[in-house]
């Protein structure tokens, strides 16, 4: 018991002193694969009726999501969970709200095969791409065995790996620029830590590195069962991957079901449901100001045509 208490104390000290790390300036990968993955990311051929691409729901010019409570897939079908941002997803320890995909490469086939999203399958995608000379040539330049399911997933993942947003004001502050954020934004960061937000939102992605139950201190009334979909364990009901807070000011609505429209209200919900703590209006606004410092810069590859 004593050892456990010491360990917990050590974790709390670590989170207080150095809980968040800045995003690296660049991620180095194969440029040919990145270019091919980008073309695939924007290509609606991945969907059954050639109407929906990855970029349809992951708008890279507006936060990496689509700003909707639920995304609209093929034939107008509505999704079942709020679309998470694709930006900085490479830093998540698992992908999807329920952690069903182990990495970016594994994640690709989920939206492709989802009835409410692209309603296709990877074998059909392979056939479509093989019918196009440009794709046969580009895959041949990147992979010895050409167009395969694994290579499609690998190329898209290569592109998504470089979708990082460094140089946020808070990152610059972490790197030593004391003037990068204001005194009130610093106060918001201190509250973010002292109120307990930091316990789940920490690390390089300020989240995305653990699971937690939604509705610890208050009933969540969620129709989505979270990790239970994957594990079928009762204790995993309403347990979700903690989302990254990077670029959070750009990715409303919030929560796995998009129930919250504003960043202010998201802080209120988290304080009630997850922390069980009252916050004054001033404290809420201070934390919101801090959260707005987490908006980074778009990668150069997004600015070029696919």
pLDDT in tens, 154-200: 999 999 999 999 999 999 999 999 999 999 999 999 999 999 999 99
Helix, strand or coil for residue 101?
strand
> Band of the pLDDT at 246, cuts 50, 70, 90?
very high
Question: Taking 50 as the threshold, does the pLDDT of residue 51 lie above it?
Answer: yes
Share of the chain above pLDDT 90, in %: 88
Mean pLDDT value across residues 1-12: 42
Question: Taking 80 as the threshold, does the pLDDT of residue 129 lie above it?
Answer: yes
Question: Taking 90 as the threshold, does the pLDDT of residue 241 lie above it?
Answer: yes
Predicted pLDDT of residue 28: 75
Catalytic hit among 25, 117, 153, 281:
117
> Band of the pLDDT at 302, cuts 50, 70, 90?
confident
List the domains of the chain with CATH numbers: 11-24+166-294 (1.10.760.10), 31-163 (1.10.760.10)
Query: Could you give the count of Cα atoms lying within 13 Å of 188 in the half-sphere of its Cβ?
Result: 21
The Cα–Cα gap between 38 and 32 comes to 10
> What are residue 205's phi and psi, to 5 degrees?
-100, 5
Mean pLDDT value across residues 99-113: 96
Is 160 marked active-site? Answer: no
Q: Average per-residue pLDDT in the chain?
A: 92
- Cα dihedral sign, 249-252-255-260: positive
> Band of the pLDDT at 305, cuts 50, 70, 90?
low
- Helices within 216-299 (DSSP H only): 228-231, 263-270, 281-291
């Amino acid at each position: 018991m004593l050892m456990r208490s010491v360990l917990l104390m050590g974790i709390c000290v670590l989170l207080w002193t150095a809980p968040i790390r800045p995003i690296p300036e660049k991620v180095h990968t194969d440029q040919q694969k990145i270019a091919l993955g980008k073309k695939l990311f924007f290509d609606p051929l991945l969907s059954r009726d050639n109407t929906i691409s990855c970029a349809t729901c992951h708008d890279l010019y507006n936060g990496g999501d689509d700003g909707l409570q639920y995304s609209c897939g093929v034939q107008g079908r509505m999704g079942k969970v709020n679309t998470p941002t694709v930006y900085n997803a490479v830093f998540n320890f698992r992908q999807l709200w329920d952690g069903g995909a182990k990495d970016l490469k594994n994640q690709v086939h989920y939206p492709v095969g989802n009835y409410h999203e692209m309603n296709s399958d990877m074998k059909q995608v392979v056939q479509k791409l093989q019918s196009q000379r440009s794709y046969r040539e580009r895959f041949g330049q990147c992979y010895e065995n050409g167009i395969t399911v694994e290579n499609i997933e690998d190329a898209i993942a290569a592109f998504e790996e470089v979708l990082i947003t460094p140089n946020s004001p808070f990152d610059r502050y972490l790197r030593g620029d004391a003037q990068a954020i204001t005194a009130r934004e610093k106060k918001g960061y201190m509250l973010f830590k002292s109120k307990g937000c930091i316990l789940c939102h920490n690390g390089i992605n300020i989240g995305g590195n653990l699971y937690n139950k939604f509705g610890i201190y208050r009933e969540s009334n969620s129709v989505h069962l979270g990790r239970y979909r994957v594990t079928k364990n009762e204790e995993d009901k309403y347990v979700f991957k903690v989302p990254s807070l990077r670029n959070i000011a750009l990715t409303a609505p919030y929560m796995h079901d998009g129930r919250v429209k504003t960043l202010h209200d998201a802080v209120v919900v988290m304080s009630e449901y997850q922390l069980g703590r009252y916050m004054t209006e001033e404290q809420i606004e201070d934390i919101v100001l801090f959260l707005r410092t987490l908006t980074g810069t778009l990668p150069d590859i997004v600015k070029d045509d696919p």
